[in-house]
């Protein structure tokens, strides 16, 4: 079993466990770099493992037409590297000390090294994508990097702005999160030889669970514990970033609202605590659950037009897993 997988995830990934093992070996091979300044950085970011949701989607999407080996494994490795690179840069932009309870690269090596190392991981991912020899996949990968970067810019230029509408939030989380889920599914389907209608169906699936995945993270930020999150509760608000539950709070209480006060004077002074209490003592959490549930159900429904096989079953179970993660 890959390090970091719980029993439920391991069961969902059962049809692709050997292929995920190949992805893991490709990633681990990178940490055996003969460049002494790179080896400890690569070893650090790759050693923790993780749930590998994005590469799993790539491999499962490739499995409907018997083409999950070879290029899909290369692409799945690239997808995970791209995800890791975005985390390195995201932590640097946010000046975050911790991610999932571990010190960030920028915390241990400083922001200059973190930016350059993130660039190196981006470029490494790109070489993997080129190895697939598929120009459509290369283009989609490039577009995803554009989405990720523009999503960071949208977030940056909207920090401490209490006037944001939901459509701005939806666009931002598509760019920062769901875009890579779309790419994971679409490129897996393309490299697995799926017909175009199935490619688009799987891309749509990726979009829906990608949006749900980010909304779950946003909900956990106002409901979880610092120990479980590996960062302070309410960290998004402290950074001046609005999410679904905090946007709902502003919609419900447009005038007397601690978020508006926080964004005006940027002094926490109990305002974050009060905002979290207002969210958790209202129906906002249930309203967020309803939105997440709809995305996950729609993702499941999208799969119904695809061939009935182990890959489809696993993707459906993955949508359920993301929904359950919100509780």
pTM score, two decimals?
0.94
Residue 18 is assigned to a structural domain of this protein: yes
**Quick one: angle between helices 39-47 and 111-131, nearest 10?**
80
- Which tokens hold the place of 45? 């970011």
**pLDDT for residue 258 is more than 70:** yes
Please tell me the predicted confidence (pLDDT) of residue 226: 63
Residue 2 is assigned to a structural domain of this protein: no
- pLDDT tens for residues 4-21? 678 899 999 999 999 999
Residue 68 — very low, low, confident or very high, per pLDDT cuts 50/70/90? low
Tell me how many degrees the CA angle 94-104-21 measures, rounded to the nearest 5.
120
**Quick one: angle between helices 310-325 and 284-302, nearest 10?**
180
- pLDDT tens for residues 27-38? 999 988 778 889
The region of weakest confidence among 99-103, 154-158, 208-212, 306-310 is 99-103
- pLDDT tens for residues 155-197? 999 999 999 889 999 999 999 999 999 999 999 999 999 999 9
Tally of structural domains, the chain: 1
Residue 137 is assigned to a structural domain of this protein: yes
**pLDDT for residue 69 is more than 70:** no
Mean pLDDT of 65-89: 89
Average pLDDT, the chain: 92
Domain that holds residue 263: 7-325
Cα-based distances in Å from 8 to 5, 205, 314, 321: 8, 20, 11, 8
Residue 1 is assigned to a structural domain of this protein: no
Residue 60 is assigned to a structural domain of this protein: yes
- pLDDT tens for residues 290-301? 999 999 999 999
Give percent above pLDDT 90 in the chain: 80
Cα-based distances in Å from 121 to 117, 183, 281: 6, 18, 43
**Chain CA centroid to CA 232, Å:** 19
Residue 280 belongs to domain with CATH number: 1.10.600.10
Q: b vs e for 217-237, b when ≥16 Cβ sit within 10 Å of the residue's Cβ?
A: bbbbbbbeeeeebebebbbbb
Residue 118 is assigned to a structural domain of this protein: yes
Q: Which of 320, 88, 325 is nearest to 220 (CA)?
A: 325
Please give the Cα distance from 205 to 202 (Å, whole number): 5
**pLDDT for residue 97 is more than 70:** yes
Residue 46 is assigned to a structural domain of this protein: yes
- Exposure on the CB side of residue 309, measured as CA atoms within 13 A: 13
Mean pLDDT of 262-275: 92
């Amino acid at each position: 079993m890959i390090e970091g997988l719980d029993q439920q995830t391991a069961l969902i990934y059962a049809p692709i466990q050997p292929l995920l093992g190949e992805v893991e070996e490709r990633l681990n091979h990178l940490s055996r770099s003969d460049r002494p300044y790179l080896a400890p950085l690569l070893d650090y970011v790759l050693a923790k493992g993780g749930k590998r949701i994005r590469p799993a989607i790539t491999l499962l999407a490739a499995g409907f037409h018997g083409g999950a080996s070879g290029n899909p494994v290369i692409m799945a490795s690239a997808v995970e590297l791209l995800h890791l690179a975005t985390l390195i840069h995201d932590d640097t932009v946010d000046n975050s000390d911790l991610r999932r309870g571990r010190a960030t690269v920028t915390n241990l090596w400083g922001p200059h090294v973190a930016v350059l190392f993130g660039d190196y991981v981006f470029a490494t991912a790109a070489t993997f994508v080129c190895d697939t020899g598929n120009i459509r996949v290369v283009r989609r990968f490039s577009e995803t990097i554009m989405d990720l970067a523009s999503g960071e810019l949208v977030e940056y230029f909207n920090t401490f702005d209490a006037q944001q509408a939901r459509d701005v939030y939806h666009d931002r989380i598509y760019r920062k999160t769901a875009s890579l889920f779309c790419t994971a599914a679409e490129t897996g389907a393309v490299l697995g030889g799926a017909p175009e209608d199935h490619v688009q169906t799987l891309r749509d699936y990726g979009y829906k669970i990608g949006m749900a995945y980010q909304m779950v993270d946003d909900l956990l930020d106002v409901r979880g514990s610092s120990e479980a999150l590996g960062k302070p509760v309410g960290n998004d608000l402290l950074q001046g970033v609005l999410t679904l539950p905090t946007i709902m709070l502003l919609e419900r209480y447009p005038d007397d609202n601690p978020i508006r006060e926080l964004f005006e004077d940027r002094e926490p002074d109990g305002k974050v605590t009060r905002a979290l209490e207002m969210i958790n003592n209202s129906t906002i959490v249930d309203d967020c659950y309803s939105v997440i549930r709809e995305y996950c159900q729609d993702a499941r429904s999208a799969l119904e037009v695809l061939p009935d096989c182990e890959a489809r079953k696993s993707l459906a179970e993955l949508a359920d897993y993301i929904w359950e993660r919100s509780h």
